[in-house]
Structure 1
Amino acid sequence: MNVSVNRLIHQRTTSSGFTLIELMVTIAVMAIIVSIAAPSISNQLANQRVKSTTATLSNALKEAKIESIIRRQPITVTFANNNSDGGTISLTDTANIASHGYDAKSKIGATNTLTGTVATTIIFRSSKHVDAGLTYTICDSNSAASPRQVVVSTVAIITSRLGGTCP
């Protein structure tokens, strides 16, 4: 009986825990996996920021369109790419109606659909029209992110799509 007890004690002392080499190999493998996965995660986060800003802009434009019809007066939508605290999208008539914020790493640019000139405002009329169609391009500070566009036609149809070029 002493022999079996000695074997049991010997097995417990020799097989308890991990060696330092085993732990170091495991940590090295984990570090390699993380270094491979990190760039794709940052690209996914950048694409998500672009999608979020696109949704915010699209919803603000739709809100302005509806408000112009309900109030029977023009509603102006402007955007500002602020530097450190994020950007703002403002809806105004004679007073400020609403303001929406978006991530500081996202940038919005807009061009007139017909002339190609840069614009920062669009005016929705109660007649369900805008003065000039605009194409908004949403980009991210991470250049690997896919840009998106929000297009407003002259009859105030708002669509979003993947594409566009960032400056």
Structure 2
Amino acid sequence: MNASANNLPLKQKMTSSGFTLIELMVTIAVLAIIVSIAAPNISTQLANQRVKSTAAIFENALKEAKVESVIRRQPLEFSFDNSKQSILIKSKNAGGSSPIESYTYNSKSIIKASKTSITFFPSKRAEAVTYTICDSEKSSIATQVIVTAVANITTVAGGSC
């Protein structure tokens, strides 16, 4: 009734002692092939996620600037700086400009536009501009954040980096 490994014959103990070196090498080779196929897809997905994240931060900052200009009843300047990866909202009153809010975005994200700053007015107007958000890895899909003259803010996939 006691069927332990100690009671087995010597020949049977030797044949069932584990994996062979060839079996382990084949398994590692298959895993290496799978990883080499999956790695480029993972890096592209990470780049796309960085673009989406930066676009969301950018869109939220634009919407905050729009709402704050109406609430404060004064024009607000929205600007970004790619070298510092920062977004700044500041007031444009006669006594100078004071910062209201600042945001940072991923260092691998690149924002392209014809202007680096626009003004939101309390009359729910803004300067029309299209921002294109890309990643430093060229394999990512660009996203555009569009601000119209009536301060509508939309995000669409597309654009070129």
Fold shared per TM-score above 0.5: yes
- Aligned twin of 2:102: 99
- Partner Cα separation in structure 2 for residue 6 and residue 88 of structure 1: 72
Cα distance in 2 for partners of 1:11, 1:157 equals 78
**For the residues of structure 2 that align with 1:151 and 1:63, how far apart are their CA atoms?**
15
User: Residue type matched to 1:21 in 2?
Assistant: I
Cα RMSD (Å): 1.7
1:26 and 2:22 are equivalent in the alignment? no
SS at match of 2:49: helix
**Code of the aligned partner of 2:106:** D
2:40 corresponding residue in structure 1: 39
Shift of 1:22: 1.0
Structure 1 position 10, deviation (Å): 4.0
Distance 1:165 1:59 in 2: 22
> Alpha carbons of 1:6 and 1:140: their partners in 2 closer, same or farther (altered >3 Å)?
closer
Aligned CA distance change for structure 1 residues 5 and 158 (closer, same or farther; 3 Å): same
SS in 1 for 2:43: helix
Distance in structure 2 (CA, Å) of the matches to 1:6 and 1:78: 79
CA distance in 1, matches of 2:143, 2:8: 71
- The reply to whether residue 56 of structure 1 matches residue 61 of structure 2 is no
1:156 aligns with 2:151: yes
Aligned counterpart, 2:94: none
**1:5 and 2:7 equivalent?**
yes
Distance in 2 of aligned mates of 1:133 and 1:44 = 31
Q: Hey, what does 1:69 align to over in structure 2?
A: 70
Equivalenced residues, count: 152
Return the match for 2:160 from 138, 159, 165: 165
Cα deviations across residues 98-139 of structure 1 (Å, max 9, x unaligned)?
1111111110011xxxxxxx2100110011001x20000001
Gaps of 5+ in 2: 1-5, 92-96
The unaligned stretches of length 5 or more in structure 1 are 111-117
The aligned counterpart of 1:113 is none
Q: Which residue in the other structure is 1:145 paired with?
A: 140
- Identical positions, percent: 56
Match of 1:108 among 101, 111, 128: 111
Cα distance in 1, alignment partners of residues 8 and 148 from structure 2: 86
Q: Residue 136 of structure 1 aligns to which amino acid in structure 2?
A: Y
**2:18 — aligned with what?**
17
Instruction: For residue 103 of structure 1, give the secondary structure of its aligned residue in structure 2.
Output: coil
